């Protein structure tokens, strides 16, 4: 099985999985673009999990992984077909976006693509973290005769405790092609970047209309760091993709009750895949779960949140079982929670100088994030002041911003208590940590914004929408 054929198979697997757990009509439906946008991320995540279970844990030949992928494709396809019904999805009732806005979006997308291709051509092996962590781990897995070396504490500089979604997916594709390919690694990261932009675009298009969808996608691409870090072959953009996928699917499932539990189950699955991508994804599972209960407007929403917590938790736990096995059975302790550093925790948590230094580092990064002329925090503050928030604002619409706030609060606390040099830690990682939440934060802002292009905006979750 060639690398490119397997990659297409994994994308189809991701799409059919979403069709199976969130059924729709047998023909192409109005919600299928959203499923298709998330399909590459889901498919690569599933492939990585299957690779870990069959190849690393059970130590079976790679052929067993290929068979498992094909079997999963057949099973999800059969489930998607059997669960489909005759309901025709009704598209959102919004005015079309102005042509000039589509032109701007097209130009922005083309510039982002060309920038990615030029950066990848200049550095096909990526930058430092790709050499020392992600691609290094993929090469270990592809070449290994045994599976202890990649996770040995003797190479703690390579962070052997980091999860394996990206290295596992790339190693699986390399096995399928029979060789290590920088092109495959580049395309995998490009697909994650594509999902990080198109999922919020199609979610906003369904929930708020094409104008705000186009503005949201443009805003995400305006942070040029998204493209640069993606071309560097880091795992930060894949993590950002899973963050925004989880947030968008959860909001859609809460606002459009006729969609059933499928989008919420998919949201939990995406959050679990975030935990299988980077350690920060574990924190996001907590942040998303907390936001699910904190972002509530009125007593009427409480019962809905209680009912939806089961599919959300189920989606998360499916992947956490894989991540937990890796963390507790194979990986060494993370440097932030290593037993030798526990004595420093108490001293650092009461060192208010660290709070002050971390606070100003966050402020400085907020004002320079994205390498754009005007800081995004100022742009969006002015936007909300001029445009105002929607009159029919639901608690679900607030959920992404609540989750982002909790995630950043968690990052802040980690910096305060981290055992490493604080200035070095902030300088080398803070810009990428803010990148994790950027697409989700942008989505949250446009979810609560009034549509300035629509004179009579429809309330979210309108009854006209079906699943």
Residue range 150-190, pLDDT digits in tens: 677 667 767 888 999 999 999 999 999 999 999 999 999 99
Query: 28: burial class by Cβ within 10 Å (0-12, 13-18, 19+)?
Result: exposed
Q: pLDDT below 70 — which residues of the chain? A: 1, 86-93, 145-150, 153-154, 157, 335-346, 372-373, 454-467
Paired tokens of 136: 């290094």
At 411 the pLDDT is: 96
At 438 the pLDDT is: 96
Domain ranges in the chain?
A: 3-87+96-448
Paired tokens of 212: 């705000």
Alpha carbon distances (Å) from 300 to 253, 296, 305, 381? 16, 9, 10, 30
Chain centroid, CA 69 distance in Å: 22
Instruction: Give every CB contact of residue 416 below 8 A, 6+ residues apart in sequence.
Output: 348, 349, 351, 354, 355, 358
CB neighbourhood size of 386 (10 A): 9
At 460 the pLDDT is: 43
At 345 the pLDDT is: 65
At 467 the pLDDT is: 38
Between helices 300-329 and 280-294, what is the axis angle to 10°? 170
| Tens digits of residue pLDDT in 370-418 | 776 678 888 888 898 888 888 888 889 999 999 999 999 999 999 998 8
What pTM was estimated for this model as a whole?
Answer: 0.93
Between helices 182-208 and 3-21, what is the axis angle to 10°? 30
Would you say 276 and 319 are in contact if contact means Cβ atoms under 8 Å apart? yes
Kindly report the backbone phi and psi dihedral angles of residue 203, in degrees, each rounded to the nearest multiple of 5, phi listed first: -65, -45
Alpha carbon distances (Å) from 367 to 209, 297, 356, 363, 434? 30, 31, 17, 6, 12
Q: Tell me the C-alpha distance between 182 and 174, whole Å.
A: 10
Question: 3-state SS string over 377-412?
Answer: HHHHHHHHHHHCECCCCCHHHHHHHHHHHHHHHHHH
């Amino acid at each position: 099985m060639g690398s490119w054929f397997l990659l297409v198979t994994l994308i189809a697997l991701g799409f059919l999985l979403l069709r199976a757990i969130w059924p729709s009509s047998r023909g192409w439906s109005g919600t299928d673009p959203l499923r298709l946008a998330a399909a590459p991320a889901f498919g690569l995540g599933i492939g990585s999990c299957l690779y870990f279970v069959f190849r690393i844990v059970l130590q079976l030949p790679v052929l067993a992984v290929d068979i498992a992928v094909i079997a999963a494709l057949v099973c999800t396809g059969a489930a998607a077909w059997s669960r489909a019904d005759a309901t025709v999805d009704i598209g959102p009732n919004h005015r079309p976006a102005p042509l000039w806005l589509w032109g701007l979006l097209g130009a922005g997308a083309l510039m982002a693509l060309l920038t990615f291709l030029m950066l990848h051509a200049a550095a096909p092996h990526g930058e430092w973290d790709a050499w020392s962590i992600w691609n290094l781990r993929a090469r270990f897995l592809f070449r290994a005769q045994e599976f202890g070396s990649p996770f040995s504490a003797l190479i703690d500089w390579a962070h052997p405790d980091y999860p394996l979604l990206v290295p596992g997916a790339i190693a699986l594709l390399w096995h399928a092609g029979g060789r290590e390919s920088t092109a495959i690694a580049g395309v995998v990261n490009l697909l994650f970047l594509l999902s990080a932009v198109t999922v919020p675009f199609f979610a906003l298009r369904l929930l708020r209309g094409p104008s705000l969808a186009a503005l949201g996608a443009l805003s995400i691409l305006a942070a040029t760091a998204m493209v640069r870090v993606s071309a560097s072959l880091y795992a930060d953009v894949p993590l950002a993709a899973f963050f925004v996928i989880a947030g968008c699917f959860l909001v859609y499932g809460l606002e459009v009750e006729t969609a059933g539990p499928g989008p919420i189950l998919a949201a939990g699955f995406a959050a679990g895949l975030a935990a299988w991508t980077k350690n920060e994804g574990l924190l996001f599972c907590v942040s998303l779960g907390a936001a699910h209960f904190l972002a509530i407007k009125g007593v009427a929403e409480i019962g809905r949140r209680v009912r939806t917590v089961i599919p959300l938790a189920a989606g998360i736990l499916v992947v956490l079982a894989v991540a937990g096995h890796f963390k507790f059975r194979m990986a060494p302790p993370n440097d932030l929670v290593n037993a030798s550093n526990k004595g420093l925790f108490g001293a650092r948590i009461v060192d208010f100088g660290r709070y002050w230094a971390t606070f100003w580092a966050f402020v400085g990064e907020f004002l320079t994030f994205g390498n754009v002329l005007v800081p995004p925090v100022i742009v969006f503050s002015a936007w909300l002041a001029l445009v105002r928030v929607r009159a029919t604002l639901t608690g679900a619409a607030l959920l992404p911003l609540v989750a982002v706030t909790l995630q950043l609060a968690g990052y802040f606390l980690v910096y305060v208590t981290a055992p490493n040099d604080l200035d070095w830690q902030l300088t080398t990682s803070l810009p990428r940590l803010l990148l994790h939440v950027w697409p989700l934060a942008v989505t949250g802002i446009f979810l609560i914004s009034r549509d300035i292009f629509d004179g009579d905006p429809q309330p979210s979750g309108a009854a006209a929408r079906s699943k």
